[in-house]
Chains A and B, each alone.
Chain A
Amino acid sequence: MNTLRMGLGRVGIELKQFFRDKESAVFNFLLPMILLVIFGSVFGGQELGDSGITFSQYFVAGMIASGILYTSFQNLAISIPMEREDGTLKRLQATPMPRAAFFIGKIGMVFVAYVAQVTILIAVGVLFFGIDLPTTSFAIFTFVWVSVLGLIAWTLLGIAYSVVPKQGRGAAALVSPVVLVLQFTSGVFFVFSDLPQWMQNFASLFPLKWLTQAMRSVFLPDTAAAMEVNGSFELGLTALVLVIWIILGAILATVFFRWTPRGKS
């Protein structure tokens, strides 16, 4: 009970820091909006083949899936090394705060930031690029569970990956290439079925490809399933892949997470 109360207190503190830090606010929160405006303005009206689907409609699904990655993985994998370096984690360790409260704070921050981000992304898409919103309750249900599983998986992976940057400074340089490579290979910036086979196979190992595909099932008409590589949005398989990554992420985070910088015992 106490842990939960302190954890919720940390959500507020984490959010204040997330939004007040300009770099974090731009890089983790505003970036998908900026990309949607740029890509939507350049390619937005183009139709994908003769499917009747605009690039904007396709792209917004990829941007929402990317938003999961930005607010959880990229955010945590950059901010935790900084907190390890500047003394935040050391200070918290000395307080009676249960360690679980720290992770509750991080998870809560990620969820709130994502909800705010998706809301703005959709608003921008609807207002400027004529995005159609899902209407069926099935699509909305899919949107919710895909978001939740995706956030949990990428939050755990972000916590685990936070041990890779040795220093807070320069952490972004070790994190954003991972994000960019996954985005390019997972059908965020390009239509996934147009990518070379090996690239598709590579991306299928990681959760982002499945998130973008599932988000397309939410934002594209049912007929668009025919454009997918296997002729289906593969929602069942998506759930399975995400659950496997959650288990893997939990193991990696538990084994590798550290409170102190490397080289100090």
Chain B
Amino acid sequence: MSSAPVITATDVTKRYGDFTALAGVSIHVDTGECLAILGPNGAGKTTLTEILEGYRQRDGGQASVLGVDPNKPTGAWKAKLGIVLQNATDMADLTVSETIKHFARYYPNPADPDQVMAAVGLTEKANSRNGKLSGGQRRRLDVALGIIGNPEVLFLDEPTTGFDPEARREFWVLIDRLKSNGTTILLTTHYLDEAQYLADRVAVIARGRIVAQGAPDSIGNRGDAIVTWTEAGREQAQSTTTPTAFVEELSSRFAGEIPHLAIRRASLEDAYLELIAQDRQTNGGDAA
């Protein structure tokens, strides 16, 4: 299933003055794969993404996107990328249809603007000014502009921030459809359920370092079970690899039923929070 990587970064470093934004980051994304980059604010997600998009120059390490060094972008290379920016509010006075049709002119093999508009669910808003769109609609326009050039690689930087749950679901379906057409996707997000739904693999970044990388179901301690119950008037929780034995032992402490007993698999969020907490403990000394 895995083929040649479309995106690779090897030991990429970036400093802003005294602040180390990336301290040697290595990732790869294979053809048709979706990699989600997770991490707290300021961890380096956007810096890494913008280095790969060609917006920022890295200080050290190697990077390649579709065989090209992002520090040396060409027009032909840009034509194969789709970039969905964070918090764009540009072109407020143009209509949705004008904007999408205009951007189609920049690409050698553009998608049909009407089809793209339908794919992102903005057909009814075709003649609305961009500045009058809701937050969710505006992001869908950004996605439309990201995919109008039929990109081979799509960068999504926190695409669903500010969405209501229904809009987020619709957005996921849209991205899933692009993925099934073979588009390679690099996603940064704060939403663990989003990464769980869309990503084939996730990379957790903290303080400019990758602290874990792998399939969403295997990352960190996701094999663990989490047992919760009530004891001494408080909710207790225990993460364990042997839940059956643990519950057996637990039941011996109670006369009958264990109050409020529940056992569940660790979620991606549990695994993520644990990874970030571990990183804080081990590197806490140099905390800002």
Q: Tell me which residues across on chain A come within 8 A of B106, comparing CB atoms.
A: 6, 95-97
Output the residue of A90, A96, A97, A260 with the most chain B CB within 10 A: A96
> A265 interface residue, CB < 8 Å from B?
yes
The answer on a CB contact under 8 Å between A98 and B75 is yes
Least Cβ–Cβ distance between B22 and chain A, in angstroms: 14
> B175 interface residue, CB < 8 Å from A?
no
Q: Tell me which residues across on chain B come within 8 A of A96, comparing CB atoms.
A: 75-76, 78-79, 106-108, 149
The answer on a CB contact under 8 Å between B108 and A13 is no
Q: Which A3-43 residues have a C-beta within 8 angstroms of B?
A: 5-6, 9, 13, 16-17, 20-21
Q: Which B79-96 residues have a C-beta within 8 angstroms of A?
A: 79, 81, 83, 85, 87-94
Q: How many residues of A contact B (CB 8 A)?
A: 22
Q: How far is it, in angstroms, between the C-alpha of A91 and the C-alpha of B84 when the chains are bound?
A: 9
Least Cβ–Cβ distance between A202 and chain B, in angstroms: 38
Given contacts A96-B78, A265-B57, contact A91 B102 (CB under 8 A): no
The answer on a CB contact under 8 Å between B107 and A90 is no
Q: CB < 8 Å: which of A5, A16, A95, A260 contacts B94? A: A16
Least Cβ–Cβ distance between B261 and chain A, in angstroms: 51
Q: Mark A184-228, 1 if CB is under 8 A from B, else 0.
A: 000000000000000000000000000000000000000000000
The answer on a CB contact under 8 Å between B85 and A88 is no
- Residue on B nearest A17 in the bound complex, by CB: B93
Least Cβ–Cβ distance between B229 and chain A, in angstroms: 50
Q: How many A-B residue pairs have CB under 8 A?
A: 65
Q: Tell me which residues across on chain B come within 8 A of A87, comparing CB atoms.
A: 85, 87-90
Q: Tell me which residues across on chain A come within 8 A of B103, comparing CB atoms.
A: 95
Q: Which A57-110 residues have a C-beta within 8 angstroms of B?
A: 83, 86-88, 90-91, 93-98
Q: How many residues of B contact A (CB 8 A)?
A: 31
Given contacts A6-B105, A9-B105, A265-B57, contact A94 B90 (CB under 8 A): no
Least Cβ–Cβ distance between B1 and chain A, in angstroms: 30
Output the residue of A5, A83, A94 with the most chain B CB within 10 A: A94
The answer on a CB contact under 8 Å between A93 and B107 is no
Given contacts A96-B75, A96-B107, contact A83 B90 (CB under 8 A): yes
Q: Tell me which residues across on chain B come within 8 A of A86, comparing CB atoms.
A: 88-90, 92
Q: How far is it, in angstroms, between the C-alpha of A265 and the C-alpha of B76 when the chains are bound?
A: 23
- Residue on B nearest A260 in the bound complex, by CB: B55
Q: Mark B28-69, 1 if CB is under 8 A from A, else 0.
A: 000000000000000000000000011111000000000000
Q: CB < 8 Å: which of A6, A20, A21, A265 contacts B56? A: A265
Q: How far is it, in angstroms, between the C-alpha of A13 and the C-alpha of B105 when the chains are bound?
A: 12
The answer on a CB contact under 8 Å between B93 and A20 is yes
Q: Tell me which residues across on chain B come within 8 A of A94, comparing CB atoms.
A: 53-55, 78, 81, 83, 85
Q: Mark A117-136, 1 if CB is under 8 A from B, else 0.
A: 00000000000000000000
Q: How far is it, in angstroms, between the C-alpha of A90 and the C-alpha of B102 when the chains are bound?
A: 16
Given contacts A17-B91, A83-B90, A88-B91, contact A9 B102 (CB under 8 A): yes
Beyond A94-B55, A96-B106, 8 additional pairs, beta carbon < 8 A:
A21-B93, A86-B88, A86-B89, A91-B83, A91-B90, A91-B145, A95-B107, A95-B149
CB pairs A–B below 8 angstroms (27 shown)? A5-B105, A9-B102, A13-B98, A16-B94, A17-B91, A20-B94, A21-B93, A83-B90, A87-B89, A87-B90, A90-B55, A91-B83, A91-B88, A91-B145, A94-B53, A94-B55, A94-B78, A94-B81, A94-B83, A95-B103, A95-B106, A95-B107, A96-B79, A96-B106, A260-B55, A265-B56, A265-B57
